[in-house]
Every structure is written in structure tokens, then in C-alpha cells.
């Protein structure tokens, strides 16, 4: 069974600093990969998705993620953190032919003024 | 375009009672999914409808949970009788086809006392 590991349940960065949220997947073949964000009192919102078209994926709000097959990673980055980025971020994977998403445990991002 | 709508947003009931959660997917979306996040754990898949048919119900915890999607529009998830371990946030998602991203609702926070 495939799984997703998010390193760090809590990450704090200063406003303006680089945001790096880590995600590793276990899969024998490259799956479909997603990053979702949950702002306080809201549902999950899709940030970006990897579907094998390009290894560097750009998403909304200045976020991007790079698929690295050799490292089985799909880390999420943003060059400069903004206060509005404070939220919980989820990495998810879906295997071709199977609809269900498998989520990581989530990383809560705190932005320090 | 209206997003995925879930009702109620919060529900507090006593152990042994029955609760029904409702999900209205995005109009025209044939695929509807239920997920659950128990406190401190990852978001887990419960089941997947294609129109009114259950495509995958491998994540349903036990027979106290009953999901329906009569007519292929909105869906309900009934828990009867509710147990303490059923507490958590129940998310619904929908997608227009299998290779399109899943759009999530704001979730229903269920508390069993």
C-alpha cells in the first residue's frame, strides 16, 4: 500500500523567509501527487498537483513543488512567507486507476512576524 | 459556481444516538467521496460514489456507517449508533471525472459525548 510521510507536524518560519514543507511518498511507480491547504475554519483547498507533465509544479499563492523520483519526494516551497500562509498543509497521493487519496498527517505552518 | 457544501458544520450528540451528515457536491460532478479525520491522525478515505453507485467502500470503518447517494446528487452519511471513537471531522469531496482534482467541502465536525 502506498503511503505519504510528512516530516515535521509543526513548522515555524519568519515572515519573508523561505517555506519548505517536506513530503515523501512510497510507491513502486510515480503516482499522482497533491498538496492541499486548510486555512482555519475552512475546508481543504488544492494548492497544486503533479501528474507527470513537469517535475516542477507551480501552484496558487506563490507555492511550488518539485517531484524528485530518485528521492521519492515532493516538497512544497515558497520563497517568501506571508502571514496569510499560516495554515495546515497536507500532502496526498493517488495511484493511477484508484480514485482515493492517501494523505500525510499534515504540517501546521506558523508564520512569525 | 457553488463549491461542495456540507451540513451541518458541527454536530454534538451522545453515544448511542444517530447522526446524519449531508454533502452536496459541485453541480455536475459524478464522483463523490467521503473522508474522515480523527483528532491527531491523518485524513482517511471512507468511500467513493460514481453517480449513485458505490465504487469503493473499502474505508468504511464498520456497519454502523451507512452512505447513500440516491439519484446521484447529494449524499448522506449516517452513523447509527454513534460511538465515542466516531468523533472527528468528516469531509466530502467531489470531482467531475477520475483524472480531475477532488474539491473538498468545509467538513462536518462531529463530537460524540
- The pLDDT tens digits of the residues spanning A31-70 come to 789 999 999 888 899 999 988 778 899 999 999 999 998 8
Asked if B42 and A45 come within 8 Å (Cβ–Cβ), the reply is no
B28/B51 Cα distance (integer angstroms): 10
Inter-residue contact A39 to A87 (CB < 8 Å): yes
Chain A: residue whose CA lies nearest to B107: A43
**CB contacts < 8 A (A, B):** 52
- pLDDT higher than 90, residue B52: yes
CA terminus-to-terminus distance, chain B: 37
Asked if B107 and A100 come within 8 Å (Cβ–Cβ), the reply is no
Chain A: residue whose CA lies nearest to B38: A105
pLDDT classification of A29: cutoffs 50, 70, 90? low
Amino acid at each position: 500500500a502506498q503511503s505519504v510521510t510528512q516530516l515535521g507536524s509543526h513548522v515555524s518560519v519568519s515572515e519573508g523567509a523561505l517555506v519548505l514543507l517536506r513530503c515523501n511518498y512510497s510507491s513502486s511507480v510515480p503516482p499522482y501527487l497533491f498538496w492541499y491547504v486548510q486555512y482555519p475554519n475552512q475546508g481543504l483547498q488544492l494548492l497544486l498537483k503533479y501528474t507527470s507533465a513537469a517535475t516542477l509544479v507551480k501552484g496558487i499563492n506563490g507555492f511550488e513543488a518539485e517531484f524528485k523520483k530518485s528521492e521519492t519526494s515532493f516538497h512544497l516551497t515558497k520563497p517568501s512567507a506571508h502571514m496569510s500562509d499560516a495554515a495546515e498543509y497536507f500532502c496526498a497521493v493517488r495511484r493511477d486507476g484508484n480514485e482515493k487519496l492517501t494523505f500525510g498527517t499534515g504540517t501546521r505552518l506558523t508564520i512569525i512576524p | 459556481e457553488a463549491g461542495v457544501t456540507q451540513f451541518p458544520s458541527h454536530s454534538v450528540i451522545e453515544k448511542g444516538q444517530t447522526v446524519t451528515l449531508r454533502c452536496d457536491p459541485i453541480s455536475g460532478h459524478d464522483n463523490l467521496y467521503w473522508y474522515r479525520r480523527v483528532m491527531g491522525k491523518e485524513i482517511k478515505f471512507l468511500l467513493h460514489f460514481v453517480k449513485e453507485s458505490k465504487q469503493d467502500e473499502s474505508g468504511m470503518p464498520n456497519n454502523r456507517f451507512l452512505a447513500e447517494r440516491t439519484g446521484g446528487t447529494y449524499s448522506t452519511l449516517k452513523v447509527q449508533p454513534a460511538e465515542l471513537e466516531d468523533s472527528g471531522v468528516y469531509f466530502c469531496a467531489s470531482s467531475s471525472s477520475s483524472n480531475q482534482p477532488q474539491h473538498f467541502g468545509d467538513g462536518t465536525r462531529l463530537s460524540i459525548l
